[in-house]
Amino acid sequence: MDLSTTYLGLQLPHPFIAGASPLADNVDRARALEDAGVAAIVLRSLFEEQIDAEALAHHDAAASHADSHGEATTYLADPAACVFGPEAYLEHLHAVKQAVGVPVIASLNGYTYGGWIDYARRIAAAGADALELNLYYVATDPAESADELEENAVDIVRDVKHTVGIPVAVKLSPFYTSLANFAHQLEAAGADGLVLFNRFFEPDIDVENLEVRTHMEMSRSHELLLRLRWLAILSGQRSCSLAVSGGVHTAHDAIKAVMCGAHCVQLVAAMMRSGTGVVGELRAAVAAWLQEHGYESLRQMRGSMDLSRSPDPKAYERGNYMRLLQTYRSD
């Protein structure tokens, strides 16, 4: 069965790629991913804010006690030898690229304009096959309007595209007022692909100690539904690549995503839970399903259930919610 697909212009033998995660945090694990059969690898995000925060914390730790007592002018070993910046990430990217044959997609989360552009340039120079811009941002400032936020993002995408020659995907959150419009703007700015969706760290509450606990819950299949809706909506509207991220755990999940328009399926939780072998299982199961259902290829199936082609397009829209409410019975 022909499972091949094109994502960000990259020709992939099948749609299953490793999503941004610790799965490829070292070269051996990246090799293992390739051995398990992933079609491409997305590296964990390079977080500009974290780099700066670490640098500032180290700087404070070293500087706040320096030159203040006669017995010692410093208290930490030669902090000048510590390099704070994207170097370690770039070296890792380079090493993974050397070690594997599959495409390697870097991921970037900036928080300053300069950071987005400069780090994107350096990532491209380090050999990434593509770049995923991770627009992970929780807007809490009431002075920051939706327009400003979206304009900034669009500017960044446009300028990154002007800076680098590799394909650029944008990883989105679902929390935009008009996601369809925003996706349109991103594509107009040059985005080669959209990744649906980012998953935020969702803080939990410790009621005994009145504390906030932050931790990352791995995705479950039910989270796919939100993604299916937006894949379906955007698939007919946009000509750029679409990737699903979050909620694909079974062959049926993957089939649904592709039917709604996904060019590729990013796997993280499924591999973390079940091991990298799940890639092969999913690939085989999807192929078998296609075979069984008389499809010729994956491409034939892609987008078949999107907004433009679905037999019931209204189902993806607001009316669906209304009807559900109207038909709801407490018994």
Partner 1 sequence: MATTRTTTVDGNEAAAAVAYRLSEIAAIYPITPSSAMGELADEWAAKNRPNLFGSVPRIVEMQSEGGAAGAVHGAVQAGSLAVTFTASQGLLLMIPTMYKLAGELTPFVMHVAARTVASHALSIFGDHSDVMACRQTGFAMLCAANVQEAQDFAAIAHLATLRCRVPFVHFFDGFRTSHEVAKITVLEDDDLRALVDPEAIAAHRRRALTPDRPVLRGSAQNPDVFFQAREACQPFHDACPEVVASTMRAFGERTGRSYAPFSYHGHERAERVVVVMGSAAETVRSAVDHLVAHGEKVGMLQVRLYRPFAQQLLVQALPACVRHIAVLDRTKEPGAPAEPLCLDVIAAVTAAGRDGGAPWAAAPQVVGGRYGLSGKEFTPAMALAVFTMLQQQPRHGFTVGIVDDVSHSSLAWDQDLELPHPGRKEAVFFGLGADGTVGANKNSIKILGETTDLHAQGFFVYDSKKSGAVTISHLRFGPEHFEAPYLITRAAFVACHQFGFLDKYDVLELAAPGATLLLNAPFPPERVWDELPVEVQQQILARRLHVFAIDAAAVARDAGVGNRINTIMQVCYFALAEVLPRDAAIASIKAAIEKSYAKKGAEIVRRNFAAVDAALAHLHPIVVPEKTTASRHRPPAVAAAAPDFVQRVTGAMLAGKGELLPCSAFPPDGTWPTDTAKWEKRAIAAAVPVWDAAICIQCNKCTLMCPHAAIRAKVYPPEAAPAGGAELPFQQWRGEEFAGRRYTIQVAPDDCTGCGLCVQVCPAKDKQNPRHKAIEMTPLRAVQAQERARFETFLALPEVDRTTVTKLDVRGSQLLQPLFEFSGACAGCGETPYLKLLTQLFGDRLLIANATGCSSIYGGNLPTTPYAKDGNGRGPAWANSLFEDNAEFGLGMRLSVDALGSRAGKLLHNLASALQADTLVADLLEPAARSEAWFVEQRARVGALRDRLALLATPEARELELLADYLVPKSVWLVGGDGWAFDIGYGGLDHVLSLSHDVNVLVLDTEVYSNTGGQASKATPLGAAAKFAAKGKAVDKKDLGLMAIHYGHVFVASVAIGAQDAHTVRVLREAEAHPGPSLVIAYSPCIAHGYDLVFGADQQKRAVQSGVWPLFRYDPAQIDRGEPPLIVDVPGGRQSVAEYMRNEARFAMVEKIDPAGFRRYAAGAQQAAVRRMAVYQHIAQLRFPHGTAAPAATAAGTKTDTGKE
Q: Rule CB under 8 A: which residues touch partner 1?
A: 26, 51-52, 54-85, 88, 92, 112, 114-115, 118, 209-211
User: How far from each other are the two terminal CA atoms of the chain, in whole angstroms?
Assistant: 46
- Is the torsion defined by CA of 46, 48, 50, 55 positive or negative? positive
Minimal distance in Å, beta carbon 67 to partner 1? 4
Half-sphere exposure (Cβ direction) of 124: Cα atoms closer than 13 Å = 16
Minimal distance in Å, beta carbon 113 to partner 1? 12
Q: Which is nearer to partner 1, 208 or 331 (CB)?
A: 208
Q: Which is nearer to partner 1, 71 or 202 (CB)?
A: 71
Minimal distance in Å, beta carbon 324 to partner 1? 38
Interacting residues of 165 by C-beta distance below 8 A, sequence separation 6+: 124
Q: Which is nearer to partner 1, 58 or 299 (CB)?
A: 58
Q: Which is nearer to partner 1, 51 or 305 (CB)?
A: 51
Distances (CA, A) of 76 to 51, 69, 88, 173, 216: 20, 14, 21, 41, 33
Burial class of residue 142, CB neighbours in 10 A (0-12, 13-18, 19+) = exposed
| Residue whose tokens read 């804010």 | 49
Minimal distance in Å, beta carbon 119 to partner 1? 10
Q: How many other C-beta atoms lie within 10 A of the C-beta of residue 46?
A: 24
Q: Which is nearer to partner 1, 47 or 182 (CB)?
A: 47
Minimal distance in Å, beta carbon 255 to partner 1? 38
